[in-house]
A and B are shown apart, each in its own frame.
Chain A
Amino acid sequence: MRWTFATGTIIPVFALLVLSACSTDYDVTEVAPAEHLVTDEHAGHDHAPGEPCYETDIESEQPLTGEETTSIDEEREAAHAGHAHDEGDRNHGTQWFFNQPWAAPFIWGKLVRDSLVFLALAVGIFFATRKRSKR
């Protein structure tokens, strides 16, 4: 197998597969564990049990009980301890990241994965487009 063939075809295809293998990406809200589901974005609207949440893409399987609601409220208050925005304001930028430390390893993993994929693509394209120098 020629090196140019390997780098020119297999690596990009593999890289795209790796990238697209993940249905979710950097949106923390899309992968938040159940106990972290109630966020500023999620709090603003209601939907029926079993109906997919438009903003989080995660199905709410059961209606929240009174106890759960209380515990989530407590967590939410805790999460808001360092939050500078007013109640109900939407997070923006990377602030969500620093507000939700549980998400850090998830995001770091994504960043490292994508970095390596793009690095492999860059190296592959560099070698695949090289010109022959010998006749």
Chain B
Amino acid sequence: MADVHPLQVKRLSKRFPRKRGLGSVQAVSDLSFAVRQGEIVGFIGHNGAGKTTTIKCLLGLLKPSEGSISLWGYTPASRKVRARIGYIPENPDYDDSFSPMEYLSMFASMRGLSGDDKSWLKLLKRVGLSSWETTGIRQFSKGMRQRMSLAIALQSNPDLLVLDEPTGGLDPMARKEFREIIIEENKRGASVFLSSHILSDVETICHRAVILSRGKLVTEGSMKELLGGENLYRIVVISRKTGEEIEEIIPEADLQSRIDSLRRDNLPIVKVEMALKSLEDVFLSAAGGESK
């Protein structure tokens, strides 16, 4: 089954019931995408867009309301395929009473991995926790817990890395180290599914991106397609209420109609310029359009 992707999501929907039976909240709706072998795919969306819900569905933590998820052709319930995944949760936490070495040894034993203390020390050194191996996790900062998560995720040399906001609590140096490790893992042969708010990270390391807004797929494509497609324009107008400058990113096709509508509303246009296209512009344009 050579054409089976590491991850394939088809028409995924997830609804959460409201309290007291008052209907339900649609967290993800009719979402389809795939992560192909050897790809790094960015998963982008605003807060509450449904990114973490999707990730939890594909790890079997949440049961999809509709649609299907396939990991190398199996459902997420299969332990055989989950053994091939490395996962970093958003805001990871671990039992405070253990040290990183104890945690790694126990996780290795639970996963049936053959490794000794030397290899775990090497791993801790790789993620930047080399002098903290016997310190209780109780004393760890958020960034150190992220590093601890990365060590656990990398422990089994996974074929698919699922990373949910992995660089959220990290300083710029640590973020750079994280990016380098992700690229190294990708070169080793691992596919990566990276959910992040930090669009510059996604733009730097991802081959493709999937953009989500309000639980729906807005657009997806390779970085080349997303950044090299239609030109974007930046319009700066002055708000009549506050008197402040407001900036809008508009696709070229919508530019004229937007200028006409601003003129009709007698809003003073300060400037119209071609935007130097970044993933952030693409995201704001796509997600902004969706939310209007």
Contact = CB atoms under 8 A, between A and B. Distances in A.
Q: Do A and B come from one complex?
A: yes
A132 B70 contact: no
A11 to B, nearest CB: 23
B152 to A, nearest CB: 23
The 8 tightest CB contacts between A and B, nearest first, are A133-B78, A131-B77, A133-B77, A133-B75, A135-B75, A132-B75, A133-B74, A135-B70
A133 B73 contact: no
7 contacts: A133-B74, A133-B78, A135-B68, A135-B70, A135-B73, A135-B74, A135-B75
Interface string A101-134: 0000000000000000000000000000001111
A134 B68 CA distance: 12
A131 B74 CA distance: 12
Contacts of A134: 74-75, 78
Contacts of B70: 135
Contacts of A131: 60, 75, 77
Contacts of A135: 68, 70, 73-75
Interface string B74-103: 110111100000000000000000000000
Contacts of A132: 75, 77
Contacts of B60: 131
A30 to B, nearest CB: 44
Contacts of B78: 133-134
Interface string B126-141: 0000000000000000
Given A133-B78, A134-B78, 14 more contacts: A131-B75, A131-B77, A132-B77, A133-B74, A133-B75, A133-B77, A133-B79, A134-B74, A134-B75, A135-B68, A135-B70, A135-B73, A135-B74, A135-B75
A133 B80 contact: yes
Contacts of B68: 135
Interface in B34-83: 60, 68, 70, 73-75, 77-80
A135 B79 CA distance: 14
Which of B60, B75, B79, B80 has most A Cβ within 10 Å?
B75
A133 B76 CA distance: 7
A135 B77 CA distance: 10
A131 B76 CA distance: 10
A120 to B, nearest CB: 25
A133 B77 CA distance: 5
Contacts of A133: 74-75, 77-80
A134 B1 CA distance: 14
A132 B75 CA distance: 7
A14 to B, nearest CB: 28
Interface in B181-208: none
Contacts of B77: 131-133
A132 B76 CA distance: 9
B11 to A, nearest CB: 14
A134 B80 CA distance: 11
Nearest to B63: A131
A131 B60 CA distance: 10
Nearest to B73: A135
A132 B74 CA distance: 9
A13 to B, nearest CB: 26
Contacts of B80: 133
A33 B77 CA distance: 56
